[in-house]
Amino acid sequence: MADEAQQDGKVDGDENSVADKPPQDPLIVKDDIFYRISKDDESGVTEFLTKDKKLVNSLDEHGMTPLQHAAYKGNKSMCQMLFDYGADVNGGRHNNGYTALHFAALSGNAYLCQMMLQQGAHPSVTNSVNRTAAQMAAFVGNHHCVSTINSFVDFKDIEYFTTPSAPDKKPKLDIVVARSLHRLIMDVNFHPVKVAITVRKNAVLVEHIPQLYKVLEEMSEREMKKSGSASEIVSFKLHLLSFILKTLHKDTNGDVNKFDDFIKSLIRPKTGQYLCEALEVLLRRGVRDFRFIETTIMQQLVTNLTHTKVCEDPGAWSIICSVVNGQKGFRDNDPCATCGEERGAKKCSRCHYDAYCDQECQRLHWFVHKRYCKDKAREYNAKMVAAALEQQAEGTSQEQALPVDEKEKKTL
């Protein structure tokens, strides 16, 4: 072992050290921290760092840090370990200006993006082709990363409101509700129905609705005042959340027993329509109420909404989603017909027409869905029968096309 290491020109007194172990791949001549990261070898990386902590922010020949390498590989535990050793999330001098957050966004791992942001990554930094991490994620179709980056709000921004401005004053936000509010903000789905369902499930949120919408509106304004790092998207989302909660409170008086009526009013379409007018009106009012009219996001929203009539495809919710989360070329899944959730929604087992994320959403939508479930089930079954017959016919015609001896072989 030691002889081999000497032949490689790597001499180190410690028999078990990483430097004594030459890389297995004959094409790799250099064994360093970057090589170990490329192999997802966490203990190898730890050994390097135990010997020299400064390596954690070292650069390879492309100006990349170990963290950027681990982020590109989408390796969560490796990234966490590098942070534990003091990795600088905004470090590195990559040739094309990519940051660790850019690499996390390209890896497609939304949790990793959140981790980078929690460590203080700057989401507005652009690379040499003038793209932010979220824009790069959108470019390669990593939509969940786009939404995660665009929705990110530091918990400190919420905590700020839990301290009173003077000793004799009450804080604007009770500390008990701060974490729940953070989770509500970080949810990439801020469809009004989803917001109402989330609030209803959490008694602390229900109890604090007026505090929540006041704080959210103030957060929206503070976001726009952040010099250099202000995010129009975050500011708009905070405003819309505030507007939804304010409407929910006004319409229900904070009484959870009336939440069902509120939700149903937002999913009840007029006969012959698919989109619900009350939802369209709520969202359009919410957009109109955003006071930063000079922002790009507002101009995009106004342009798109004025070109679409109320209840006309694609609908206000789709327009808002595409502006906030980036335009999608395709849908990964059919969203939940009740709350707009895109992940994990399953189709109605009878008609396969509408999808729902759970039984609660299916129950809430039933008063609408029952109008057409039977008809759609009949259509679905007819389609299935037609497809089966077509497949059978294809099989027969292929058989007819076979030469005689082939046919004989098949019958044997």
Binding site for Zn ion (CB under 5 A): 336, 338-339, 341, 348, 350-351, 357, 361, 373
Q: Contact, 57 vs 87, CB < 8 A?
A: yes
Measure Cα distances from 284 to 249, 310, 368 in Å.
Answer: 18, 9, 23
Cβ of residue 376: shortest distance to Zn ion, in angstroms?
A: 6
Instruction: Name which of 149 and 321 has its Cβ closer to Zn ion.
Output: 321
* Residue 320: burial class (beta carbons within 10 Å; 0-12, 13-18, 19+): buried
Reduce the DSSP state of residue 183 to 3 states and report it. helix
- Cα–Cα nearest to 175, from 235, 215, 119, 115: 215
Cβ of residue 340: shortest distance to Zn ion, in angstroms?
A: 7
Q: How many Cα neighbours within 13 Å face the side chain of 197?
A: 23
Cβ of residue 243: shortest distance to Zn ion, in angstroms?
A: 21
| Token representation of residue 405 | 């001896």
Helix 76-84 crosses helix 110-118 at what angle (to 10 degrees)?
10
User: Does a cis peptide bond (omega within 30 degrees of 0) precede residue 171?
Assistant: no
Measure Cα distances from 211 to 171, 216, 254, 255 in Å.
Answer: 10, 8, 12, 16
* Residue 119: burial class (beta carbons within 10 Å; 0-12, 13-18, 19+): middle
Cβ of residue 360: shortest distance to Zn ion, in angstroms?
A: 7
Cβ of residue 272: shortest distance to Zn ion, in angstroms?
A: 18
Transcribe 92-104 into DSSP letters.
Answer: ---TT---HHHHH
Instruction: Name which of 134 and 199 has its Cβ closer to Zn ion.
Output: 199
Cβ of residue 192: shortest distance to Zn ion, in angstroms?
A: 12
Instruction: Name which of 165 and 333 has its Cβ closer to Zn ion.
Output: 333
Measure Cα distances from 140 to 98, 133, 257 in Å.
Answer: 15, 11, 44
Reduce the DSSP state of residue 276 to 3 states and report it. coil
Cβ-based neighbour number of residue 295 at 10 Å:
17
Instruction: Name which of 60 and 341 has its Cβ closer to Zn ion.
Output: 341
Instruction: Name which of 102 and 200 has its Cβ closer to Zn ion.
Output: 200
Instruction: Provide the terminal-to-terminal Cα distance of the chain, rounded to the nearest Å.
Output: 63
Amino acid at 243: F
Cβ of residue 150: shortest distance to Zn ion, in angstroms?
A: 21
Reduce the DSSP state of residue 406 to 3 states and report it. helix
Cβ of residue 277: shortest distance to Zn ion, in angstroms?
A: 20
Amino acid at 151: S
Cβ of residue 365: shortest distance to Zn ion, in angstroms?
A: 8
Cβ of residue 379: shortest distance to Zn ion, in angstroms?
A: 11
Task: Kindly compute the dihedral angle of the four CA atoms of residues 56, 59, 60, 62, in this order, to the nearest 10 degrees.
Answer: 140
Instruction: Name which of 53 and 201 has its Cβ closer to Zn ion.
Output: 201
Distance from chain centroid for Cα 33: 31
Instruction: Name which of 62 and 352 has its Cβ closer to Zn ion.
Output: 352
